[in-house]
Structure formats: structure tokens, C-alpha cells
Amino acid sequence: MTASPAGGRGRFAGAGPEDRVVVARAPAKVNAHLAVGPLRPDGFHELQTVYLAVSLFDTVTVQDGDGITLTVSGEGGGATTGAGRVPTDRTNLVWRAADLLAEHAGVPADAAIEISKSIPAAAGLAGGSADAAAALVALDALWGTHASRADLIELAAQLGSDVPFSLLGGVALGTGRGEQLTPVLARARSHWVLGIAREGLSTPAVYAELDRLRAGGQVPDGAVLGSPEPVIAALRSGPTGALAAALANDLQAPALSLRSDLRRALRVATDAGAAAALVSGSGPTIAALANDEGAAVRLAAALAGEGIFRTVRAVHGPVPGARLVG
Ligand code: C5P
């Protein structure tokens, strides 16, 4: 879809130092705990969430350019959760990340940017946030802006609620609208199977549905938030059973209300041996927790065989946040 680094301009072609290629990647996330408070005056909801970065990565490649150009390639072209639905204009979060960093650093916003997607779009996995985080790291290196990690995190928060976590990775408690992070030292590795639906879900639509269900008294009003501590304790030291018992997501009810097919997907996952299954973030991805790596591989095969997901991925977490590659 775009010029490859070997296409004559990059370091692979033996070009000079002024003609560089920089590659960064950033992970998908699941919310092992997602408690949503009431709607704030600014249109966001107060959150308490436990983010876990998992081993599914998007890659962003940048090189010198004239202005910003953006291309997108990768899995699922054409599907509404695939690369085919990702915009390649200024509305792409990566483009906004480039403008923001250039403005912050006082440099011209010149770069040819290629996003290579493995994380499905509109899936509740923070794929767009991962792309923005990887772009900030890659462009900081390309432009030699030497932004501090704290600067990048501040810019990330202006781009979206999940972007700071895509930079940080690992495990973190998110508060505010999700952008205020407290890192959690987590030793326990957990194994998950992600079941990705054919049709995406819009995050604002899922939050709006939560507000609607709350106004009708169909779900608790969010005045009292569930504690993230049991999930944090389980991610610190296991066992899987403790994590399975503690998983919680206030956006699951509205996601199921908008997409009743997800109920069956959750049941299929637990019937196929998942320790627990929940909607990831605002959905529609189902995150199924497995007891160990072998169980995750078996669970992934079983879920793929059901034919209800567009794609199925076995992943583990925690993994690091946005990093340069090579
Ligand atoms: O921050 P981000 O751009 O990811 O948010 C997308 C939308 O999701 C917001 O415009 C808002 O409708 C909803 N949202 C929210 N409360 C949050 C995060 C997101 O209502 N804490």
C-alpha cells in the first residue's frame, strides 16, 4: 500500500543520515478492571481502570517527508474492525500526534508515516491509541526533538484517554478520564484469547448507552465505584483463579445492550474452557482469560472453530509500552 523502507529512501538502501527510517511499535490493551463513574461536565466519565498491555502490536514507520503523509496497511482491510476502516487524513490520531509534537518542539511537521496494523480498529483494544503512542516515539527520534517521557505523556493525554497508557505499557491504574496513570509492578504473566468481532463498536456510543441504562435505572448509577484492588493484587502475584474472579467492566452491560450477539460470544468462551471472559474496554472484542499458555492455544483453536469471530488471537501480558524497534 505504501513505499517500503527498502523502496530507495531508507537506511536499507544505504541512504545518508538525513534520509532515515525510524520504526516504533506499541501494544494493545485490555482493561482487567473498568469502573465508570458519572458523566462529567466535559463530556467524559470519571474512571477507575486497571490497564494491562498485551502482546499484540501495531508498528509505525516514519521517514523524512514534505508535510505529513499517512498510509495504513495490515490485517482486516475492508472489515469494519480492520485496517480498511482507519482514516488516512488529518482525523487519524497519528496525524494529530505528529502535529502536536511538531508544535511542542517547534519543528516543521514533515514525515512520511506508515501504520502497519495488527490491532483491530474500533475493537476496544486501544489500537488507535497505540498508533499515536508509537508515532510520538518514532517522530521524537526522527526529528531529534528529545522530548522527555513526561512531555510525551502530557502530549499523549491531549490525544486521547488511553494514549498515555499505550506509551507506558505494563500494568497501570488509570484515573481521571483514564489518562492519569499510576504504574503497578506486576510479576504475574496472564494469558488471554482475544475474540474480535466482524463489526466494530463506537466508544462514545457505548458510553452513551451506559448513561441511558443508568438513567432508566437498569444498571447501578456509578456513584459508588468497584475497587480495583482485587485485580491489582491478582495481577501482582496471581493465581489465575483470583484474577478470573476479580475481572469487572462497567461498559460490558451497555456493549451487550447494543450488541446482543456478544452474550453468545462470552458464553462460547467460558464453555470452551476460559477461566473467565469479559468485554474488552468498550468492546466488541471478547477477552477470555486462560489458565496458562497451553490452555490459551487450545482456547484460541476452539474459539476460531466456532466461526463467530472475525479473528482470534492468543496473547499475554504485561508487555512494555511504545518503544523504538531495532
Ligand atoms: O479519550 P477518547 O478520545 O478515547 O474518548 C472517546 C470518547 O469516549 C469520548 O469522546 C467520550 O464520549 C468517551 N469517553 C468517556 N469517558 C472517558 C473516556 C472516553 O465518556 N473516561
Chain centroid to CA 134: how far? Answer: 12
User: Residue 75: CB within 6 Å of ligand 1?
Assistant: no
Closest Cα partner for 33 from 244, 292, 308, 323?
244
- How far apart are the two ends of the chain, measured CA to CA in Å? 23
pLDDT in tens, the chain (326 residues): 333 333 333 333 334 456 699 999 999 999 999 999 999 999 999 999 999 999 999 999 999 999 999 999 987 655 566 676 788 889 999 999 999 999 999 999 999 999 999 999 889 999 999 999 999 999 999 999 999 999 999 999 999 999 999 999 999 999 999 999 999 999 899 999 999 998 889 999 999 999 999 999 999 999 999 999 999 999 999 899 999 999 999 999 999 999 999 999 999 999 999 999 999 999 999 999 999 999 999 999 999 999 899 999 999 999 999 999 98
Task: Catalytic residue, from 19, 29, 66, 292: name it.
Answer: 29
Nearest CA to ligand 1 atom 20: 44
Per the DSSP assignment, residues forming a β-bridge with 33 are 50, 248
Decide: 20 and 11 in contact? Cβ < 8 Å: yes
Q: Ligand 1: which of 31, 46, 207 to mutate, judged by most atoms within 8 Å of the beta carbon? A: 207
Q: Ligand 1: which of 31, 33, 39, 44 to mutate, judged by most atoms within 8 Å of the beta carbon? A: 44
| Residues constituting the chain | 326
User: Residue 160: CB within 6 Å of ligand 1?
Assistant: yes
User: Residue 251: CB within 6 Å of ligand 1?
Assistant: no
162 is catalytic: yes
Q: Model pTM greater than 0.75?
A: yes
* 59-87 burial: b if 16+ Cβ within 10 Å, else e: bbbbbbbeebebebebbbeebbbbbebbe
Decide: 273 and 295 in contact? Cβ < 8 Å: yes
DSSP state of 227: P
